[in-house]
Amino acid sequence: MDTMRDKPIKFSSSAFCLIILLLAYNSTAELRRLVQPPKSDGTLSFLVVGDWGRRGSYNQSQVALQMGKTGKDLNIDFVISTGDNFYDDGITSPYDCQFQDSFTNIYTAPSLQKPWYNVLGNHDYRGNVDAQLSPILKDLDCRWVCLRSYVVNADIVDIFFVDTTPFVDKYFDEPKDHVYDWSGVLPRNKYLNNLLADLDVSFQESVAKWKIVVGHHTIKSAGHHGITKELEKQLLPILEANEVDLYINGHDHCLEHISSINSGIQFMTSGGGSKAWKGDVNEWNPQEMRFYYDGQGFMSVYLSEAELRVLFYDGYGRVLHRWNTYKEAIYTDI
């Protein structure tokens, strides 16, 4: 059996990059588990940005600047990327200059020198997937954390990162002129069945107060791509059965909040890291649509034992939308 399942592996000795890769002992789940310590008061804050990697163009640098300011104000613990990290066709190798030009040299603010937890998007699959997963990138910039699917445990919250691109039929059936790197994914049905089973087990084993799922593709969206039917059919029932609080995605180049009328899941899109699609919005049930913005921006999440709070910001750092919810806090006398 792989030795990574038997002991923790330390990614880096740097203080802000100290992330321990743990696979749950006495567990049948295969999802890799990372430990992200919360603040000393038990709270946690992070930013979410998606669809960003364009060497600073399409206002990527402007969004990065505002992320730095907001990150400082909120004293964030880390950043989440919802995928499409490098346009248009991922990266060719760990030494591709795109990594420096679109990531290291763009997100330079002191507040953003924290772990970046990434998922892969469809554009990333058009490049060398193993290059984005390579530990060499972490040697080049110790903030970088990218696995196919994994769990980040931060005490009060478990964040489940899901590799959604292999779910989408058209990338296999109608790739057009694009070439996708399916190494590590084939045979596809086995890969997806294992992922869904492992995810379900990981949900059931979770004892965290909050459960957040991050994937690149939309499940519910009024944007350009709309509903991803494959995720609606295969992934959504597992999220509903395990009472997930948030599903956060990119893919649609907008900011969006949809509240499900069928469950307690909130669907949040943060895909405004660079190029946005102005006016590309479809009708949606007004009982579910809470917020839609067809421009650049990002979102922040604050968590405590009792509260989950989400804010959306435009590319100038202005707050566009706020949402929060509460759960009864459990306090233990010592």
Other C-beta atoms lying within 10 Å of the C-beta of residue 154 = 23
Instruction: Answer for the pair 82, 49: CB distance below 8 angstroms, yes or no.
Output: yes
Instruction: Answer for the pair 145, 11: CB distance below 8 angstroms, yes or no.
Output: yes
Binding residues for Fe cation: 51, 84, 87, 122, 216, 251, 253
DSSP lists the bridge partners of residue 301 as 46, 310
Res 33: pLDDT: 97
Q: How far apart are CA 143 and CA 114, in angstroms?
A: 6
Q: How far apart are CA 92 and CA 138, in angstroms?
A: 16
Binding residues: 51, 84, 87, 122, 216, 251, 253
What's the pLDDT tens digit per position in 85-112? 999 999 999 999 999 999 999 999 999 9
What's the pLDDT tens digit per position in 36-70? 999 999 999 999 999 999 999 999 999 999 999 99
Of the candidates 123, 217, 225, 321, the residue annotated as catalytic is: 225
Active-site residue, 123 included: no
Range among 5-14, 41-50, 325-334 with highest mean pLDDT value: 41-50
Whether the per-residue pLDDT at 332 is higher than 80: the answer is: no
DSSP lists the bridge partners of residue 144 as 116
pTM score of the predicted model: 0.92
